[in-house]
Structure 1
Amino acid sequence: MRKKYEVTQVENNKFLFKKDDTAEEEVVVYLKKSPADVQPEFLLKTSEKSFSVNIGPVDYRPYFLLKFADKAYTIGERTLPVEGMNNFRDMGGYEAENGKTVKWGMLYRSDHIYNATEAGVDYLKKLDIHTIIDYRSDDEISKYPNKTVDGSIKTYQLDPVAHAAELSAQFTSSKDKEDINLINKIIEQKEKGTLVNQADVVLEQYRTFANKDNSKEAFGEMLRITANPDAPAVLQHCRGGKDRTGFGAMLVLGILGVKKDDLVKDYMLTEENRKERNRVKMEGYKKLTDDKEVLEHLYSFIDTRSEFIATSIDTIIQKYGSIEKYVVEELGITRDMIDTMKSMYLE
């Protein structure tokens, strides 16, 4: 199968197109104002596997139509440049079942909107978001309230209540004591000899997402909301956009027929997006403790590893055979809802 181009914005309004493919073929590139734009603007024609284009300043989120001799498809940048946020992503473009593709501009995932700047909020307004699903707890929301994007957006709080014990110590603390309370909790467990392998703690959390009643209730409601024809575009987020959002995004894409490799690939984009954020976070922890074991344990909670989301997927597949059967049997999603989601989000 020929690989598709992927596009990233490497400088302001300058986009880099790349594909990992040995096949040479001519492509004609057009600029689109939306995925449904029927009058795209011609940009260039090339046979290069890697090329860039500067589109100049625009007042909309750009998409690109790529035309080949025997096919055509639309692409957009995956991680969006929302100022103040580090992990706002479009889940479109993935290949799904029956040769279909997930639509661009319909399904988003992100970190919380608390840090979005005024320019970031202005960018978000261009995305025509209708629904926000917030997986955070009451404590998190009270400390880090989202910036208002548009008063007409419907927001649903769906807390899976599935945090590891250490993280609960952080989430229920005041802003200025979050880090030290988390560290003290880990030190206490270390001194008692009850501190387990840090990766095992996170892996257990990902199993909990699939098995715990609170989690099943929250993610089931997320899917019912997402299946509402009035819902798109839908944004789901937690605090960092990794764990709770990672599981929710996996369920949506999995129902649509996206393969496991791409589910893991989508999850792992968080690793790249949060590198700088994680570096800053660890520097802050190092000011509070020099215990190497504690620091390693702390890093496990902000680390992004493929085995984390793979554990959730494997837990579901081993018991139910497929993500689709899991959401039907455990989350109360009907076949009609699944068919509706496929008609809404696939093309």
Structure 2
Amino acid sequence: MIDADTRVLPMQGIHNFRDYGGYRARGGAIRLGVLWRSGQHGEATADDLDAVHRLGIATVIDLRGDSEREACPCVRHPEFEGHVLFHPGETASAHGRAAHEEAAEQVRTAADAHAAMIRLYETLPFRPVLVGTYRLYLRALVDRDGASLLHCLAGKDRTGVAAALVHHLLGVHPDDIVEDYLLTNTAGNAEARIAAGARHVRAGFGRHMDDAAVRVLMSVHADYLDTSLTAIREQHGSVEAYADAVLGFGKADIAALERRLIV
């Protein structure tokens, strides 16, 4: 394994940029330098883009909805020649909000925010457009060469569930899966990420929301991820059965994923 300081890359305009490889898994360890995750790149600086370009990313999986992409187009390096994959439609809500923004409706206190995030995570693994992009994501990891980058708006909810699914399918220990998920709360300049996200939340919902509630919405908690995984197991029995039935990713695909990513 590598430590948190090593796996997180410092960026100015891209938040939560990090390698989610390196963990012990079934039959070895996940390769480093091929699985990247982050928030959106709409405010990336030239230095950020140079740093991303040096990673040789061949595939970008954009978990945002159409409205989010239109409102905040990602900036790419002038020499970027990779593929950007997404399923068309809205992955968070019909109004094109990010997942944490959707959860913010009717939130006033930190307790309200926590409960809203729990409700949100019950639905994330089953939202049709998000499921469509998760399918593209898993297939790309098997079929496409080169490094990949997985992102949504803040890189914490839709991205967090997606990364956790890959970790589960590769046999990463549950404690390490949660550790990687919670790294969002400290990766890079977390305060700048919270402030950036809070501007969006406050613009739509913040008139009566206290500061603690905003912070809860812009952070992650182990309860949230557990809620998604529990919902998956309640409906399908296991993450593997969910991947097969919902994502069209069966045992042979998992074996191919291991051959690609385990060393």
TM-score range, shorter chain: 0.7 to 0.9
Instruction: Looking at secondary structure, tell me which structure has more strand per residue.
Output: 1
Which structure has more RCO (C-alpha within 8 Å, separation ≥ 6)? Answer: 2
Distance (Å, rounded) in 2 between the aligned partners of 1:316 and 1:190: 26
Task: Please report how far the alpha carbon of residue 335 of structure 1 lies from its aligned counterpart in structure 2 after TM superposition.
Answer: 2.3
Question: Which runs of 5 or more structure 2 residues have no equivalent in the other structure?
Answer: none
Residue 267 of structure 1 aligns to a residue whose secondary structure is: helix
Which residue identity does 1:217 align to in structure 2? G
Is 1:245 the counterpart of 2:242? The answer is no
1:141 corresponds in structure 2 to 69
Aligned to 1:90: 19
Map residues 144-223 of structure 1 onto 2, 5 A cutoff.
Answer: 144-149=72-77, 150-158=79-87, 161-163=90-92, 168=95, 170=97, 186=105, 189=106, 197-223=112-138
Q: Secondary structure at the match of 1:197?
A: helix
Give 5+ residue unaligned stretches, structure 1: 9-76, 172-178
> Who is 1:342 aligned against?
258
TM-score in terms of structure 1 length? 0.65
Question: For residues 154 and 4 of structure 2, what CA distance do their matches in structure 1 show?
Answer: 23
CA distance, structure 2, for counterparts of residue 227 and residue 111 of structure 1: 23
1:120 matched residue in structure 2: 48
Question: Post-superposition shift, 1:275?
Answer: 2.9
8 Å Cα contact 2:62/2:152 also seen in 1 = yes
Give the distance between the partners of 1:134 and 1:222, measured in 2 at CA.
9
Q: How high is the sequence identity, in percent, across the aligned residues? A: 27
- Deviation string 1:246-302 (CA, Å, 9 cap, x unpaired) is 11111111111112211111111111132333246558949x9663x4555444321
In structure 2, distance between residues paired with 1:267 and 1:85: 18
Amino acid at match of 2:174: K
Structure 2 SS opposite 1:112: coil
How big is the shift at 1:212? 3.1
Structure index of larger Rg:
1
Whole-Å separation in 1 of the counterparts to 2:61 and 2:96: 24
- Residue 163 of structure 1 and its aligned partner are, at CA, apart by 2.6
**Residues 107, 113 of structure 2: 8 Å contact kept:** no
1:6 maps onto 2:3 in alignment = yes
The CA RMSD measured in Å over matched residues stands at 3.0
In proportion to residue count, which structure has more helix? 2
